[in-house]
Structure 1
Amino acid sequence: MIDLNLVFGGLITCTLSFFPGCFLKKDCWPETEVPKGPVTNESRNWQEKHPEWLFSDDFESDEPMVKTGRYFEYNNNGGDFVPVNGVGINESKGMRVKWQQGEVGAGDLKLGFGKQPDGYMDQGIRSTENFRDIYYRMYLRMENGWQGNPYKLSRATIFSGADWSQAMIAHIWQNEGDGLAIDPASGTDASGNVVTQGYNDFNNLTWLGNKSGITPVFSAENAGKWFCIEAHVKLNDPGHANGIHEFWIDGVLQAKSDDLDFTKTYTDFGINAIFFENYWNGGSPKDQERYIDNIVVSTKRIGF
C-alpha cells in the first residue's frame, strides 16, 4: 500500500491510501477492505435514486412477473425458475434456476421497453422512445459443486415486427470453456432492410464476430461466488460501422467490439427487448441450480 499526503493551503492535510496499479478496482483491495458491492432492496425507490435507469428488479416484490412495468413474458418451467427467499444477494430473495439432469430449458424472463412493433411486448416502460445505447446488469451465482457451461445467458435485441423479426441481436453466451462471450448479429441487408422472418431466424442473420471473455464464471473453483455481469450495446450510426458490444464481470472488461454495423441505415426501432435465459444446449450433466438477482437496465453505466 502507498500513502499519498496532500496539503491544501497549508491548513488541511489529506492522506490517500491505495495499491500500486489499482484505483477503485475491487480485485485489487485486500479481502478485508473490499468496497461494499451488491445490496438488498436495490429496487426500492429506484426511479428517484437512478433516473438513468429504465428498469430494476431485485425480486423482493410479490407482484406478478408479467404486468405493466415488468416483463411481458415469464416462463417458470414448472417451478424451476422462481423467486426463492434466501438465495439472492445477502441471503435476500432471488431467482432460483433449477435444472434436472439432461434438461435443456429451465425458464426465462422477457423484458420489453421503448417503442415496440406490437402491443404484446409493451409493458409501458418508456414506450414512446427509441433506445440506441443501453446497459444492463445482473448478478449470477452457481451453487457449490456446479458442473458445466449452460451456454445461453442473455441477449439484447431489436424487434422490428409483430412476428418477432429482429433487426439485430447482441448475445451474451458461450458454447465452450467456462466463460461467456459477446456474439453480435445483424438482421438487415446492406440497405438497412430487415431480412429476418420471425424469431431467431439464424439463416438470415449476419454474424459479426464472437469474442470470448476472460473470467471462468462456470468453473468449479468459482462455484458459490456472486458475479456482477454488465453488458453494453450501442447501435451504429446510420451508414457507419461504429456500433459497440462489450461486457464486464466484476468491473473488469471481458470483451469488446466497437466497429459493428448492426443495422446499416435502419432506424425504425431501437433496442427494445432483453431476454434473461436459462437454456443449456445439450442438457445439464446433473441436477443443479444457479441464482440470479439485481437486474438493472440503464442508459448509463451501472456498475456494482
Structure 2
Amino acid sequence: MTHTIEHHPVGDNTMRYASIFGATSRFALKSAFLSGVLLLVLLAASQSDAQLIYQNDFDQYTTERVYTDDDLDNDFNEPRFNDGVTEGRVTIVGASQAHGGAGSALAIAYPAGEDGTKQTGAQWQLDFDNSYEELYFSYCVKFESGFDFVRGGKLPGLAGGTAPTGSTQADGTNGWNGRMMWRTDFEGVSGQPEQLTSDAISYAKYTDSGFDGTGRDEDKEYWVESDGSRTTIKSGVWYEIIQRVKMNDPGESNGVLQIWIDGRLVHDQQDVLFRTANTFAIDQVYFSTFFGGNEDWRTSKDEVAYFDDFKVGLLLSDLKPEPEPEPRFLKVPQHFPTVQEAIDDANPGDTVAVRGFLRENIVVNKAIFLRGYNGTRINALDVNSPAIRITASGVHLKRFELRYGPHAVVVDPGLNDITVEYITAIFNSDSAICLKEGNDGALVRKNQVYYAQSDGIRIDRSDDVTVIDNKVFTTDGTGFSIFGSNDVTVEGNTSWGNHEGFCVDGNGSTIEDNFAFKNSSSGFVFSGDNLAVIDNYSRLNGSHGYSFFNSSHNSINENVSRENGGNGFEFTAISDNSVMVDNIAKLCGEVGFFLDFASGNSIDDALSLDNESGFVLTGTTSSNTITRSLAQDNPVYGVLDQGTGNDTSGVKKRRNGND
C-alpha cells in the first residue's frame, strides 16, 4: 500500500519527515504535496540511514483512469520531460491487473504498428535531490497475456549525470545509463510469427560500454541463469526486477552493476567504468519503456505492460526483508599476491578476479566465481598437478589461459552447479578439461584446447551436462569424450586434428551443429540409445564420418559426411531401430551408408555420392528400409543388400559400378 507520511517544516524550505520506519530524514522540497500525502518518499539526508529513498505502489489511486501530467509530477518529483503521459498512453488499472492482485498499478500502452518513444510506451526521469554512490532499485513488471515481444524494447533502470542514450556517447564525464531491455533473436517481419517469449539484457551505457568499448553504444549483455541458459521472460507473468549499482572510483574499473529477477542473480558486472571524473554518481531513475530499435522493431498489434511497486533504497534490506550476504570482489594481485591466498580468504559467493601471469597450482574449495581477463595466464608450478582443481559445488570458472599439468581444469566427483567457460588450455599431459563422475548439470562452454596428450574435453558419467561452443585442436586423444553420461547436450563444437573427433557414450543425448575435421580416426563415434544427432558436419577424417556402435532408437537428421577415409555413416554391433532423414555421404573412401548387425533402421532422403559404394547392408542385417534416396557415381556398388527382409527399393541408382 501507499503510506501517508507526516511532514514538518524545519526552515530554509526544508522539511523533516516522520517515516513509517520510525526515523527522520531531511529533504529539500521541490513542490507542495496534495492532502499531506507523500506519493514519493525521498529520505536522503545521510547515506548511512537504512531507508527507502523512493517508494510508490500507486495504491493511492482508487479508480481506473488516465494518468495525468499532474499525477506524474506528484509521483515522480516533477520530471523535466515525459513521453507517453501527455499522449494518453499511461493509465491507472485496478486490482485485477495490479501486482499481488490488490491495489493499483500503472499500465503502459504500445499502439499497433509503432516504435520509439514518441509513438509507443512512456519515458521520463525521476530525479533524486541527492547523488548516491550505491543504490538498489526494484520494480515489478508484467506483459499482458499474448504480448508479442517482436525484436525488443526498453525497461527502466538507474542512471546518473545526463543519463546519455541513443547517439550520445558516455565519455566518463557526462553521465551513464543503466536501462534494461527485453530482447529476442527474431529478425523477421513484425508479427510473422509473434514472439511470445523473450530474452532480457542489460542495456547499460557507460565510459567503455558497447562492442568497441568507447561508450558510444550500450552493452548488450544477456541475463543468464545459474545453469548458463538465458533468462526467459513470458507474457502474463509478474516479475520482480532488482538492480544494484555501485559507482566506481573515478578512473578505476571497479563499479558494480547487478540484476536479479525474482531473487535470482542473472547479471553480475564487477568491473564497470561508469566515470573518469567525480562529477556525478547515481541521481535518478530513468523510466523508459518502448518498442525499439527502429521501425523493424515496431509492434505487431496493440500491447500493454503493467508496472508496480517501485522502490529505491540504500541497502538490499530496504527492498527485501532477508537479503543475501553481499559478495566481495577480491583482486589478484592488488589484494592478494596469489590466487590461492585469495580463495582461502574468500567466502562462498565472492568473486576472485585475477590479472597478469602467475605460476601456481590452484584448488577451488568453495562456491566462488573465479575469473580472469583477456591475457590472464596461469602456468602449473607443479607439472604433475592440475593447474586448477575444483573440489566444491557452485564454482564458476571463467577466462584463463592455463598451461601445463596433467589437466588445465579437473573437477572432483559428485559436485553440482559447475561452470567452466572461456578457458584456453595448452600443453596438458592428460585430458585438458576433465569432469569426473557425478558432475550432473555442469556447463562447459566457449573453451579452447591445444596439444593435450590425451582427450581435449572429457566428461565421465555425468548427466545433463551442456558442452557448447568449444574448440579442441591437435590432441593425441579424442577431442570430445563423453563417457557413460546421459542427456548431455553437445552443440556448436569443433574438433580439429585430434585422434577421434567426438565420442559420445550414453543415452538420451543431443549432438547438434558440431564440426569434426581432419581427425586421424573417426569424426563421430556413438554408443548409446535415444540419441538426437542433428546437423553435424564430418570432413576429411581418417576413418569413418559417423560410427554408431551398439546404438539404437536414435534420430539422425541432416548430417553431412564428406571426404572421410572410411564409411560415411556406419551402423554396427547391434545398432537397431534408428530413423535417419536427409543425410549426405560424399567422397568417402569406403561406403556411404554401411549397415552390419543392424535391424529395423529407417533411412529416408539420403544421398550417397562419389563414395566407393553407396549403400551396403551385410548378411547380418534385417528389416531395414531405405526410401527416397539416391546412390550416384559410386564406382563399386550403388546398393549391395545381403541381408534378410531389407527393403532398398526406394534407392534411385545412377552411374554406379554395379548397377
**TM-score of Structure 1 vs Structure 2, range by shorter chain:** 0.5 to 0.7
Task: Specify whether residues 68 and 91 from structure 1 end up closer, same or farther in structure 2 by C-alpha distance, changes over 3 A only.
Answer: closer
| Structure 1 Cα separation of the partners of residues 275 and 149 of structure 2 | 34
Q: Cα deviation per residue 1:87-128 (whole Å; 9 max; x = unaligned)?
A: 212142100112221122222242011xxxxxxxxxxxxx2x
The within-5 A match list for 1:1-304 is: 41=1, 43=3, 47-49=19-21, 51-62=50-61, 64-67=71-74, 70-72=77-79, 73-75=81-83, 76=85, 78-86=87-95, 87-89=97-99, 90-104=101-115, 105-113=120-128, 127=129, 129-148=130-149, 150-160=152-162, 166-177=174-185, 178-187=198-207, 205-206=215-216, 209-213=219-223, 214-217=230-233, 219=234, 223-264=235-276, 266-281=277-292, 282-301=297-316, 302-303=319-320
| Structure 2 Cα separation of the partners of residues 208 and 151 of structure 1 | 14
Q: Which residue of 2 aligns with 1:200?
A: none
| Structure 1 Cα separation of the partners of residues 141 and 106 of structure 2 | 10
TM-score, length-scaled by structure 1? 0.67
TM-score, length-scaled by structure 2? 0.32
Letter in structure 2 aligned against 1:96: A
| Structure 1 Cα separation of the partners of residues 55 and 271 of structure 2 | 30
| Structure 2 Cα separation of the partners of residues 242 and 267 of structure 1 | 14
Letter in structure 1 aligned against 2:73: V
Measure how far apart 1:68 and its partner are: 8.0
| Structure 1 Cα separation of the partners of residues 77 and 89 of structure 2 | 20
Q: Secondary structure, in 3 states, of the residue corresponding to 1:49?
A: coil
Task: Specify whether residues 284 and 267 from structure 1 end up closer, same or farther in structure 2 by C-alpha distance, changes over 3 A only.
Answer: same
Letter in structure 2 aligned against 1:286: K
Measure how far apart 1:77 and its partner are: 5.3
Task: Specify whether residues 294 and 158 from structure 1 end up closer, same or farther in structure 2 by C-alpha distance, changes over 3 A only.
Answer: same
Measure how far apart 1:69 and its partner are: 6.4
| Structure 1 Cα separation of the partners of residues 142 and 78 of structure 2 | 22
| Structure 2 Cα separation of the partners of residues 111 and 91 of structure 1 | 25
Count of residue pairs the alignment pairs up: 231
* Larger RCO of the pair (alpha carbons < 8 Å, separation 6+): 1
Q: Tell whether the 8 Å contact from 1:102 to 1:286 is kept in structure 2 after alignment.
A: yes
Structure 1: tracts of 5 or more residues without a match: 1-40, 114-126, 189-202
What fraction of aligned residue pairs are identical, expressed as a percent?
Answer: 17
Q: Cα deviation per residue 1:176-220 (whole Å; 9 max; x = unaligned)?
A: 3412211332259xxxxxxxxxxxxxx973557432113211x3x
Letter in structure 1 aligned against 2:299: S
| Structure 2 Cα separation of the partners of residues 234 and 294 of structure 1 | 22
| Structure 1 Cα separation of the partners of residues 216 and 133 of structure 2 | 19
Q: Secondary structure, in 3 states, of the residue corresponding to 1:148?
A: coil
Q: Cα deviation per residue 1:8-50 (whole Å; 9 max; x = unaligned)?
A: xxxxxxxxxxxxxxxxxxxxxxxxxxxxxxxxx1545594239
Measure how far apart 1:171 and its partner are: 2.3
| Structure 1 Cα separation of the partners of residues 98 and 245 of structure 2 | 26
Letter in structure 1 aligned against 2:259: F
Task: Specify whether residues 78 and 52 from structure 1 end up closer, same or farther in structure 2 by C-alpha distance, changes over 3 A only.
Answer: same
Letter in structure 2 aligned against 1:54: I
Q: Tell whether the 8 Å contact from 1:81 to 1:97 is kept in structure 2 after alignment.
A: yes
Measure how far apart 1:224 and its partner are: 1.5
Letter in structure 1 aligned against 2:77: R
| Structure 1 Cα separation of the partners of residues 240 and 214 of structure 2 | 33
Q: Cα deviation per residue 1:115-170 (whole Å; 9 max; x = unaligned)?
A: xxxxxxxxxxxx2x320111111101111112115420013222259xx9842222
| Structure 2 Cα separation of the partners of residues 208 and 103 of structure 1 | 23
Task: Specify whether residues 209 and 79 from structure 1 end up closer, same or farther in structure 2 by C-alpha distance, changes over 3 A only.
Answer: closer
Structure 2: tracts of 5 or more residues without a match: 6-17, 23-49, 62-69, 186-197, 224-229, 322-659
Letter in structure 2 aligned against 1:70: N
| Structure 1 Cα separation of the partners of residues 175 and 284 of structure 2 | 12
Q: Secondary structure, in 3 states, of the residue corresponding to 2:249?
A: coil
Q: Tell whether the 8 Å contact from 2:3 to 2:20 is kept in structure 1 after alignment.
A: no
Rg comparison, structure with higher value: 2
Task: Specify whether residues 210 and 252 from structure 1 end up closer, same or farther in structure 2 by C-alpha distance, changes over 3 A only.
Answer: same
Q: Secondary structure, in 3 states, of the residue corresponding to 1:180?
A: strand
| Structure 1 Cα separation of the partners of residues 263 and 302 of structure 2 | 31
| Structure 2 Cα separation of the partners of residues 228 and 69 of structure 1 | 20
Cα RMSD of the aligned pairs, angstroms, is: 3.1
Q: Structure 1 stretches (4+) deviating beyond 6 angstroms?
A: none
Q: Tell whether the 8 Å contact from 1:43 to 1:58 is kept in structure 2 after alignment.
A: no
| Structure 1 Cα separation of the partners of residues 74 and 2 of structure 2 | 20
Letter in structure 2 aligned against 1:284: T
My pick for the range that moved more, 137-146 or 102-111, is 102-111
Q: Tell whether the 8 Å contact from 2:137 to 2:312 is kept in structure 1 after alignment.
A: yes
Q: Tell whether the 8 Å contact from 2:153 to 2:183 is kept in structure 1 after alignment.
A: yes
Q: Tell whether the 8 Å contact from 2:178 to 2:203 is kept in structure 1 after alignment.
A: yes
| Structure 1 Cα separation of the partners of residues 257 and 141 of structure 2 | 20
| Structure 1 Cα separation of the partners of residues 218 and 91 of structure 2 | 34
Letter in structure 1 aligned against 2:284: A
Measure how far apart 1:259 and its partner are: 0.7
| Structure 1 Cα separation of the partners of residues 148 and 86 of structure 2 | 21
Task: Specify whether residues 74 and 57 from structure 1 end up closer, same or farther in structure 2 by C-alpha distance, changes over 3 A only.
Answer: farther
Task: Specify whether residues 206 and 99 from structure 1 end up closer, same or farther in structure 2 by C-alpha distance, changes over 3 A only.
Answer: closer
Decide which structure has greater helix share: 1
Measure how far apart 1:54 and its partner are: 0.5
Q: Secondary structure, in 3 states, of the residue corresponding to 1:65?
A: helix
